[in-house]
Amino acid sequence: MASVTQRIKEIKQPRGGYLNLKMFTKTVLGPGEEELKQTDFQSGLTGLAVDYLTRFMLGTPVKTAFRISILGAERLSWDNNINTADTVSLLLKNIKGLDDNSIISACKMCGYDTCLRAGIGTYKPIEEIEPDDGAIENIRIMVNRSLAFFEQYGPVTCVCPVFHGGYAKLVDSGDGDYLTKDTIWDMKVSKKPPKSSDRLQILMYYILGKHSFRIEFDTVYKIGIYNARLNTVYLLDVNDIDRAVIHEVEYDVIGYQTCTHHNTEIVTRNTAADEYIYEQYVNHIKEQLKYRNNTQSEDLSNDQPNDGQIVSKPTKSIFRSILDFFAKAFHLTKL
């Protein structure tokens, strides 16, 4: 089993990738890299800081926006018996906006991510993370660009969507960046246009979302990539993708078993056993309950939620979730 990004590394795509870059509509929103300063600061930390600060500035609670960083710090604490709680608490308190201190604290917090994503052996003391003035200004510019992008292409309806019910034995984890009403978005800060792996990644997120329990995907029919460094949007209507390509990604890459055409959509039976699907559904319900309990206890009713929660609507009831589940199960028996 693998995550979306791990699975992409395991396969060999056709020449030019499953999705050619020319298929995407390219829109330049304004000045790009020429407006940014030269810096030697780590590109990986820059990307994470832009991502998490954008979520925070959109209204996501700081602990939610930096959730992976917090989990990484906890893992470091457990495995190496290092007390990270006080440092994490101080850094999170310092993140208040896009001032220099907030951005520096965000970069240091992102230094914990690697403990969770790649293992403790890759960790370098966050005290050594010191973004220079150029890096700080670049991060501020790219976050502001991302916020302006969502003003034009938003509003955001869902942050960090997960795909319970859509995972299969070949791909059992992975989450997207953002949903708007009709598009699933992936955010990048690379110096070059989206690679074939980036384009496959957003297509996989779309397919996983369509097969998941999430009702937000009912209105999604486009995939998009926004590069804040280039200040450029790449957008593609899924209806313009050859159905055979989607079939191949579903079958060979994600691991669904059989596909049949249903009007313009492909309905797929998951290779995962019924109990595996049930486990995903239980996790989905637990996330709904956990989110509801957290918002009640922390009084975050006016903040933007995370982990795939709908921004513009209240969390759907457990009864509605159960009805959705059995409706999907009944539909699959018709294949």
Nearest to 272 by CA among 164, 168, 165, 166: 168
Model confidence band, residue 279 (pLDDT cutoffs 50, 70, 90): low
For the residues 97-112, what does the mean pLDDT come to? 98
For the residues 38-54, what does the mean pLDDT come to? 96
Q: Which amino acid is at 2?
A: A
For the residues 150-174, what does the mean pLDDT come to? 94
CA angle centred on 162, ends 68 and 208, rounded to 5°: 135
pTM summary value: 0.79
CA–CA dist 161, 184 (Å, integer): 9
How does the average pLDDT of the chain come out, rounded?
84
DSSP secondary structure, 282-307, as one string: HHHHHHHHHHHHHHHHHT-TTS---T
Element (H, E) at 44: helix 43-57
* Token digits of residue 6: 């791990």
In the Cβ-directed half-sphere of 327, how many Cα atoms lie within 13 Å? 11
Question: How high is the pLDDT of residue 303?
Answer: 41
Question: How high is the pLDDT of residue 169?
Answer: 83
Residue-wise pLDDT for 211-270, tens only, equals 999 999 999 999 999 999 999 999 999 999 999 999 999 999 999 975 433 333 444 444
Residue-wise pLDDT for 284-305, tens only, equals 555 655 545 554 444 433 444 4
Place of tokens 């989990």: 71
Nearest to 46 by CA among 179, 126, 137: 137
Buried b (16+ CB within 10 A) or exposed e, 117-139: eeeeeebeebeebebeeebbbbb
Give the length of the chain: 335
131/265: higher pLDDT? 131
CA–CA dist 45, 140 (Å, integer): 13
The structural domains of the chain, with segments of one domain joined by +, span 1-34+155-335, 41-131
